[in-house]
Structure 1
Amino acid sequence: MKIAFYELRPGEEEYFKTNLSTHNLSFINETLNQNNLITDCEILSVVVYSKVDKDILSKLPNLKLIVTRSTGFDHIDLKSAQEKNIYVTNIPNYSEVTVAEYAFALILACSRKIIPSSLDVLKNKRFITDSFQGFDLSKKVIGVVGTGKIGRNVIRIAKGFNMQIAAFDVYPDFDLARTNSFEYVPFDELLKISDILTFHVPALPDTFHMVNMQNVNILKKGVLIINTSRGSVIETQALISGLDQGIITATGLDVLEEEGLLKNGQTNNLIGNLLGRENVLITPHNAFNSKEAHERVLKTTIENISAFLTNEPINLIR
């Protein structure tokens, strides 16, 4: 079987060579594009920055399986893949704890102004605390948007900080709510009551710009916003507006609407606006990136390919 891997990280090529030694393997470190297609590949493995659209698929006549080494799959044109009878699999369970822990790393960094205070020590060689007063998490209301595998781990961690928990999900899990002593509320209500608002939803039409210019003004004044899900969930202009008005006290972002530009070393006016703010913490879509999570990605990628080759595919996206 001819298998093409894109967006490789250190150590991955050797791992796949060891575990798929009987197959014809191609390795491309860059993202998938029109200029580096392995046109006769039968299995294609990518990550989130490789856009597998209708045009790309039309140039891969032998393709039978797409294996994305990620949980999210909005970079793949599922409709076009289905029309061509191409299976698509993902890695559903590798980072639910990893991302939840990272969300709290952002929460703590922002709520206690850890980054600017550390930079002040490094730059000015001094210990001055006047500008770096933060706030406690205990008894604050954390609004969890999305209570799937990541969101429920956020809830578990929040309980350890003695936080009050409220949540929104289009498919509420009332057993989860009962066992963890929280309530589901309408989304607009969550915006109004949350001291911290954290997003854990996929990129779907219904989650596009959940925070936007129409509802940013109903956010609780002083809210801290965290996004480790997908950049499209929050309208960047609305985020800037909330920061300018003092409605949003700070934000921790592991994803941005415009992150594709930053991936290529570019910016625009909106990104530049955010990057210049001391109360904005941006990280490079890194919430998934722990040693243990990476090991699970590699293991599940091999399992997805092996299961397909034995006509018993697993982790299918339908």
Structure 2
Amino acid sequence: MKRQRGHEAVMVRANCDCYEQNLLKMKEYGVKYLLTRTVGYNHIDLKKAHELGFEMAYVSGYSPNAVSELAVSMGNGLLRNLFYSANHQQNHNFKIDDFMFAKEIRNSTIGIIGTGRIGYPAAKAWHGMGAKVLGYDIYESDQAKSILTYCDLKTLLKESDLISLHCPYIKEENYHLVDKNFF
């Protein structure tokens, strides 16, 4: 927090806590402009930020395809244990172990929670690599039905080798979507 001292503008990410205590500290340090590099802004107490007189901005738009590509890339890394293997190589450990072997995508089931602007292109990518794709969304899409099978959340969680979340945070509705029972 002390790095903000002496700066008029602060740019935060989605994991930055911009609630009352930190907003008060930023104000004390002379911050006037609060910017977020995200489309969402649920990590900022907007009411308090306005009360304190901050000028604010957020990303008003984004490329859903770019976000879906990143999600698929990260998912592929997890599914194929690429991060594990890269870490071993970086540490000059060239031993092969059982965890380095992974199921091929074409033999995998991918669960997509939220099949809208980001989830649908992600599902298309997984489908294009030969995966079986399951989807869960409170608003099913006829377009998505051509590449995935909709099912209830319990079935998706049970049958998927990898789950990719693409749903917005809706306060009081899906706050506890990912909890102990989810895993």
Q: Distance in 1 between matches of 2:116 and 2:55?
A: 24
- What displacement does 1:79 show? 3.9
Relative to structure 1, is the Cα distance of residues 215 and 97 closer, same or farther in structure 2, using a 3 angstrom cutoff? closer
Identity %: 25
- Match of residue 208 from structure 1: 175
Q: Distance in 1 between matches of 2:170 and 2:133?
A: 25
- Alignment partner of 1:47 is 2:12: yes
Relative to structure 1, is the Cα distance of residues 122 and 161 closer, same or farther in structure 2, using a 3 angstrom cutoff? same
Alignment of 1:9-28 (within 5 A): none
Relative to structure 1, is the Cα distance of residues 89 and 116 closer, same or farther in structure 2, using a 3 angstrom cutoff? closer
- Match of residue 158 from structure 2: 192
Q: TM-score, normalised by structure 1?
A: 0.44
Relative to structure 1, is the Cα distance of residues 215 and 194 closer, same or farther in structure 2, using a 3 angstrom cutoff? same
Alignment of 1:169-180 (within 5 A): 169-170=137-138, 172-178=139-145, 180=146
Structure 1 residues not aligned, in runs of 5+: 1-28, 39-43, 217-318
Relative to structure 1, is the Cα distance of residues 214 and 69 closer, same or farther in structure 2, using a 3 angstrom cutoff? closer
Q: SS in structure 1 opposite 2:110?
A: strand
Asked if the contact 1:143–1:190 (Cα under 8 Å) also holds between the matched residues in 2, the reply is yes
Relative to structure 1, is the Cα distance of residues 162 and 93 closer, same or farther in structure 2, using a 3 angstrom cutoff? farther
- Match of residue 156 from structure 1: 124
| Amino acid across the alignment from 2:153 | F
- Match of residue 269 from structure 1: none
- CA offset digits 1:263-303 (Å, max 9, x no partner): xxxxxxxxxxxxxxxxxxxxxxxxxxxxxxxxxxxxxxxxx
- Match of residue 101 from structure 2: 133
- Match of residue 105 from structure 1: 73
Asked if the contact 2:127–2:147 (Cα under 8 Å) also holds between the matched residues in 1, the reply is no
Q: TM-score, normalised by structure 2?
A: 0.70
- What displacement does 1:154 show? 0.8
Structure 2 residues not aligned, in runs of 5+: none
Asked if the contact 1:201–1:207 (Cα under 8 Å) also holds between the matched residues in 2, the reply is no
Asked if the contact 1:45–1:69 (Cα under 8 Å) also holds between the matched residues in 2, the reply is no
Asked if the contact 2:123–2:148 (Cα under 8 Å) also holds between the matched residues in 1, the reply is no
- CA offset digits 1:164-195 (Å, max 9, x no partner): 2222223x1423324x3323322223212222
- What displacement does 1:145 show? 1.2
Relative to structure 1, is the Cα distance of residues 177 and 122 closer, same or farther in structure 2, using a 3 angstrom cutoff? closer
Asked if the contact 2:112–2:166 (Cα under 8 Å) also holds between the matched residues in 1, the reply is yes
Q: Distance in 2 between matches of 1:74 and 1:96?
A: 19
Asked if the contact 2:81–2:99 (Cα under 8 Å) also holds between the matched residues in 1, the reply is no
Deviates more, 1:131-140 or 1:154-163: 131-140
| Amino acid across the alignment from 2:11 | V
| Amino acid across the alignment from 2:109 | V
| Amino acid across the alignment from 1:189 | T
- CA offset digits 1:116-152 (Å, max 9, x no partner): 3344445456463655211111142211112232212
- Match of residue 249 from structure 1: none
Asked if the contact 1:142–1:198 (Cα under 8 Å) also holds between the matched residues in 2, the reply is yes
From 125, 135, 159, the counterpart of 1:167: 135
Asked if the contact 2:115–2:141 (Cα under 8 Å) also holds between the matched residues in 1, the reply is no
Q: SS in structure 2 opposite 1:149?
A: coil
Relative to structure 1, is the Cα distance of residues 147 and 86 closer, same or farther in structure 2, using a 3 angstrom cutoff? farther
Report the count of equivalent residues: 177
Asked if the contact 2:113–2:163 (Cα under 8 Å) also holds between the matched residues in 1, the reply is yes
- What displacement does 1:84 show? 8.5
